[in-house]
Amino acid sequence: MSLALVTLAASYVLIYATERYAIHADRMHHLALVPYLGALALAVVVLDVGAQGSQIANQTRIFSLRPEARSRINTVYMVSYFTGAAISSALSTIAWQHFGINGICGLAALLILLAVVRHALGDKQPYRRPNSVQDLEPAMLEM
């Protein structure tokens, strides 16, 4: 999870730097389109790798909680994931409208910082996947 968060943060640094370069180059009337698009494409790939890594780490952790309840846990996780994505999309629209690339990258930095704080303060006990139903704790079998 730590590596995924660092990758996400790096992607927004790349996006910000690429956009600042483009704004400066456009003012000087010498924007090189191919390097700009290449840098932007690289930033988007890094962003996707960080987001996918975060999702895989989160799902690995939640699926080990109660193996017999994976479907229900996944439903709650995905509803929460898409709700967060919808809220972030709405906030991103407002940030872009009022502050441009600075607002988008600032919002991303804030959300990544919240994830880092949660990750740093979260439960550090390793999850142990039971080998069988007999290895489950009795409280896990109660519904």
pLDDT in tens, 45-77: 999 999 999 999 888 888 888 878 888 889 999
**Res. 89 pLDDT band, cuts 50 70 90:** very high
**For residue 95, pLDDT beyond 70:** yes
State the average pLDDT over residues 94-122: 91
**For residue 20, pLDDT beyond 90:** no
Q: Is the pTM of this model over 0.95?
A: no
Q: What is the pLDDT of residue 84?
A: 93
Q: What is the pLDDT of residue 130?
A: 54
**For residue 91, pLDDT beyond 80:** yes
Q: What is the pLDDT of residue 138?
A: 58
Mean pLDDT of the chain: 84
- Which tokens in the block code for residue 137? 């704790």
Query: For residues 8 and 54, is the Cβ–Cβ distance under 8 A?
Result: yes
Give the 3-state secondary structure of 24-75. HHHHCCCCCHHHHHHHHHHHHHHHHHHHHHHHHHHHHHHHCCCHHHHHHHHH
State the average pLDDT over residues 90-113: 94
Q: Is 11 exposed, middle or buried (0-12, 13-18, 19+ CB in 10 A)?
A: buried
3-state secondary structure of 77: helix
Q: What is the pLDDT of residue 103?
A: 94
Instruction: Determine what percent of the chain is predicted with pLDDT higher than 90.
Output: 48
**For residue 32, pLDDT beyond 80:** no
Distance in angstroms (rounded) separating the CA atoms of residues 56 and 62: 10
Give the domain ranges of the chain.
Answer: 2-125
